[in-house]
Structure 1
Amino acid sequence: MANLEYAVPISSNTIFNVASLAKQFTAFSIALLADKKLLSLNDDVHQYIPELPDYGEKITLLHLITHTSGLKDQWDLLNLAGWKPEDVITNKNVLDLILKQQELNFAPGEKFQYCNSGYTLLALVVERVTGKPFATWTQENLFGPLHMNHSFFSNNFAQIIPNGAHSYKATETGLEESVFTASAVGADGLHATLADLCKWVANYDQKIIGSDVVFDEVNGIPALEKSGNSNLNAAGRLKLSYGFGQGVKDYRGALRIGHDSADAGYRTYIGRFPQQHFAVILLGNSEAFEPEKTAMQIADIYLARQLSPPATEDAVAGKKLLIPETMEQTISGQYQLGDKRILRIFVVDRNIMGEIKSERRRFDLIPLTNLEYENKPKGIGVKYLKGNNEGTATIEFSESGKSITATKLVHLDLSYLDEYTGNFYCGALDAKYAIKVQDDHMVAILPRNNAVIITQNEADSFFGSHWWMRDIKFKRNKTNKITGFEINNGRAKKITFLKIGTK
């Protein structure tokens, strides 16, 4: 349903926020401008955005397109700076934060790392080259010529969109609206219908807009040169499976070009099989929907005679299962074993781990069911038995054929964490964190009182409970005093905080 409150059904003319599907439109725009000699893909982005910091290395437009720029991702930065999902986020907000970053995650062209920031900058490049707002230029040069009459970039989340699909999420009490208030364009911000996206996909065959040169570029993987890099192929080029806003991969022996996307409850996917002149487009408005998985099930049916046999069950049997998200907080904690040892169970990126500190032993635990986990090579098993409203839980810990009942410790002595507490400041985020111990946890209190639980991993190393705050490493001076910490996430690294009042 496009709108549950008024029971409005979804049709081919329902307008969706299509999330990161916007990237292929942004990349196509750059390719068109390059074809018209208004810019070059190998131009330094500083040529168009001179206010960007000097990182000591050239970042080309092609680096931005292929997620190889080394820039920190805007969503990691925004979350770390204290922005909330319900905040209105504009291109200016994003640019202001990007401009504060004085370091890159890695040297441009060194490796692939998905980066929304690059596409926000590409939209700005289009504006500065053409002298027109990005939404206007794409309307005149993409949507208009293709008669995509219900497609547009919007930098106003409050814009009234007739026949627009609402976004939903599941909660314990039922479905709720999941409102996406970001108002930035380039990396996302595109609204479109299924009927319009069919016209977009058809253009790859019909070539109504774009020359042969443009289509050769957007259907392929650009060649990036980078010497001294272990991620190179035989030709000395960076190995990539991503091109102009789309992944370029093999699927059962066929070339597949596509992208899946998610914003709030919107879930979308476009997958093209150019050699078969076939495409699947799926648009959804519930976060439980898995569009890429469903799209490939459709492709398997329609292209059954043109695809190689699917992987056998043996080929996928070794894939590691992840702990269900509902169990992460339930089972995490410290447990008093019957033999007086303390077992700590914690979760990193949905992978469950166990540790017995007194024996300096750490081990992975593989989910067998929602309640049972094991490390077969080490002969270790954990079975969740029960819990109560006070947060206590009981597990059965087995090792070498012997089982011990263990109860979660509720009131812990956390005085050993006191040296990590205090106030810390990061200039690159213009944000102050307060590190405190409260409610049997160490927490980071972010601007506007966002609280993130941080759990000790090993000496001076912690991990956060949110995807955008994972690896936290505290720093010490020559007298062994804590002077600050550094956050390293997958998409934003070397985020340095200094302790206020220390030297």
Structure 2
Amino acid sequence: MKNIFLPLLCSISFLSFSQIKESAQIDSIFAAWNQLDTPGAALGIVKDGELIYAKGYGSADLEHDLPITPSSVFYIGSVSKQFVTFCILLLEEQGKLDLNDKIQKYLPDFPEYEAPLTIRHFIHHTSGVRDYLTLMDLKGRSYLDNLDVDEVYELIKRQKELNFTPGEKYLYSNSCYFMLAMIVEKVSHEPIRKFAHEHIFSPLGMQNTLFYDDNTDLIKNRVFSYQKKREGEGFDNLIMRFDLVGSGGVYSSIEDLFLWDQNFYHNILGKGGQAIIEKMHQEGVLNNGESAGYAFALNNGTYKGLRTVSHSGSLAGYRAQLLRFPDEKFSVIILANRDDANPTGKSYQVVDILLKDRFKEEPPQKEVSDKKEDETAKEKDMDLASVDVMDYVGNFYSEELDVTYKLYMEDDLLKLKIPNNEPQAMKINAPDTFISNGNRYRFERTDGKVVGFELDAGRVTNLNFEKR
């Protein structure tokens, strides 16, 4: 029987949400979205244990002119990860796992690499395991489509090497959280959707929050996602059949995330008490003893001298930000349904209005983002005629992706064709090195002939292709 989540009957009067004197200033931040013919966002502002301001701007469904409200249910992207880590910590509290356990204890078919991989490595993104969303993209698969759990897991297992030695550095990997959800299910003997509902969402009264692991299920008050048209006015649907959980997968609302936010101050989950909350804020430690800069799916930081805890999320046209100032007992929650939204930036605009009297003179630190890192060098202008371009023409196969790339000449340009994608121009960056779509292709030669290349694509490095 499918789970149908009904709207939360919140006991807080909506009238009380707009009784702050700065409401006009806050509304002006979202003014361009405050109409039914455009997607927008829902905003929640929390102060001293109360949801003091909650409002929707724009349309939840452009086809039916449904407005966004504080009860609207959004996909929250990587903000979901903190629910995964809390599940892991609950299982640790129950004595069912140890954070230092090797991954293979729970997933015995996962390959062994030169150095051990532990649950801690996965939590803090210090494992070096290649990111599956990047791998799928490189394979020519769209994340908007349904991706089978087994297919994704098999793709991760096909990788012959890691991006780096575990613990050597931090590099965001959705594969780790996808597999952490698998571990939760192995240890608890039930889907993470059920475990999280029983141990987190239901006890907190988060009636409209769930791990969405079946894209045929209905979600009441669901908001749909959009992207701005590349040409002309208006928006296009970003229809998403994605239903993998762990790396993301949670749908929630402003009202529900307010309840989650408040549990960080007075934890009622598990055995209760603040020990598990304090652990959530502990950052990973690298092999050299330095901080990895990432806690249990939480980013510790400062803004204008004030301590912050935050995480963002994005997928399709959904964008999310949960930003907390724990010492001020103040939080901003923004959930958006347009791909050009910048909830992180807008959340700090709200902060600038409401916390300006508390600021200290200190520039903001750069926040850790869950967006794809561009680690490629800037493109350099080189004379393509100085190399024999035909050296690079041909078909190149990756066993790890099980995909073939075609390189060919057209209109005096070297072009790359990835299955299911439009051809891309290849621009020379250095001898035997090309850049295309932000990715770096480093060609290898034997006896002067090109025999393959290694691909660096942000969250995936040193991916090998052989010339066929």
TM over 0.5: yes
Q: Which runs of 5+ in 2 are unaligned?
A: 1-58, 367-373
Quote the residue 1:290 is aligned against.
Answer: 342
Distance in 1, Cα, partners of 2:207 & 2:459:
36
Q: State the 1:352 CA deviation.
A: 6.9
* Mapping 1:63-462, distance limit 5 Å: 63-171=121-229, 172-173=231-232, 174-210=234-270, 211-222=273-284, 224=285, 226=287, 229=288, 237-309=289-361, 311=363, 355=381, 357=383, 416-448=388-420, 450-462=422-434
Which of 437, 451, 473 is 2:442 aligned to? 473
Contact 2:168 2:286 in 1 (8 A): no
Distance in 2, Cα, partners of 1:282 & 1:489:
30
Secondary structure in structure 1 of the residue aligned to 2:332: strand
Secondary structure in structure 1 of the residue aligned to 2:101: coil
Q: Number of paired residues?
A: 399
Distance in 2, Cα, partners of 1:64 & 1:8:
40
Q: Residue type matched to 1:128 in 2?
A: K
Distance in 1, Cα, partners of 2:411 & 2:375:
23
Distance in 2, Cα, partners of 1:354 & 1:132:
52
Q: Give the TM-score of the pair, scaled to structure 1.
A: 0.75
Q: Residue type matched to 2:60 in 1?
A: A
Secondary structure in structure 1 of the residue aligned to 2:61: coil
Distance in 2, Cα, partners of 1:415 & 1:461:
11
Distance in 2, Cα, partners of 1:350 & 1:295:
29
Q: State the 1:96 CA deviation.
A: 1.2
Secondary structure in structure 2 of the residue aligned to 1:205: coil
Distance in 2, Cα, partners of 1:23 & 1:439:
46
Contact 1:18 1:191 in 2 (8 A): yes
Q: Percent identity?
A: 32
Tell me: CA distance 1:349–1:109, structure 2 relative to 1, closer, same or farther (3 Å): closer
Quote the residue 1:464 is aligned against.
Answer: 436
Distance in 1, Cα, partners of 2:387 & 2:201:
61
Q: State the 1:187 CA deviation.
A: 0.7
Tell me: CA distance 1:15–1:109, structure 2 relative to 1, closer, same or farther (3 Å): same
Distance in 2, Cα, partners of 1:310 & 1:445:
48
1:9 aligns with 2:71: no
Q: Residue type matched to 1:476 in 2?
A: R
Give per-residue Cα distances to partners, 1:454-498, cap 9 Å, x unaligned: 211122100112x4xx11011100x20111111012210110011
Distance in 2, Cα, partners of 1:414 & 1:81:
31
Distance in 1, Cα, partners of 2:91 & 2:375:
40
Which of 424, 443, 457 is 1:489 aligned to? 457
Distance in 1, Cα, partners of 2:110 & 2:247:
18
Tell me: CA distance 1:420–1:116, structure 2 relative to 1, closer, same or farther (3 Å): same
Distance in 2, Cα, partners of 1:311 & 1:64:
31
Give per-residue Cα distances to partners, 1:248-275, cap 9 Å, x unaligned: 1122222211011111111110011112
Distance in 1, Cα, partners of 2:137 & 2:281:
33
Q: State the 1:128 CA deviation.
A: 0.2
Contact 1:151 1:190 in 2 (8 A): yes
Q: Give the TM-score of the pair, scaled to structure 2.
A: 0.81
Q: Residue type matched to 1:43 in 2?
A: D
Which of 100, 104, 107 is 1:49 aligned to? 107
Contact 1:250 1:256 in 2 (8 A): yes
Tell me: CA distance 1:63–1:10, structure 2 relative to 1, closer, same or farther (3 Å): same
Q: Which runs of 5+ in 1 are unaligned?
A: 230-236, 317-347, 358-411
Q: State the 1:416 CA deviation.
A: 2.9
Q: State the 1:354 CA deviation.
A: 5.5
Distance in 1, Cα, partners of 2:63 & 2:457:
39
Q: Residue type matched to 1:84 in 2?
A: S
Largest Rg, 1 or 2: 1
* Mapping 1:34-45, distance limit 5 Å: 34-45=92-103
Distance in 2, Cα, partners of 1:255 & 1:451:
46
Distance in 1, Cα, partners of 2:449 & 2:350:
59
Distance in 2, Cα, partners of 1:220 & 1:243:
5
Give per-residue Cα distances to partners, 1:64-107, cap 9 Å, x unaligned: 11110111111111111121244211332221110101201111
Contact 1:414 1:437 in 2 (8 A): no
Quote the residue 2:21 is aligned against.
Answer: none
Q: Residue type matched to 2:280 in 1?
A: V
Give per-residue Cα distances to partners, 1:301-353, cap 9 Å, x unaligned: 222222213549xx99xxxxxxxxxxxxxxxxxxxxxxxxxxxxxxx989975
- The higher-RCO structure (CA 8 Å, 6+ apart) is 2
Q: State the 1:62 CA deviation.
A: 1.0
Q: State the 1:189 CA deviation.
A: 0.8
Distance in 2, Cα, partners of 1:208 & 1:448:
48
Q: State the 1:432 CA deviation.
A: 1.2
Distance in 2, Cα, partners of 1:352 & 1:423:
26
Contact 1:424 1:432 in 2 (8 A): yes
Tell me: CA distance 1:181–1:288, structure 2 relative to 1, closer, same or farther (3 Å): same
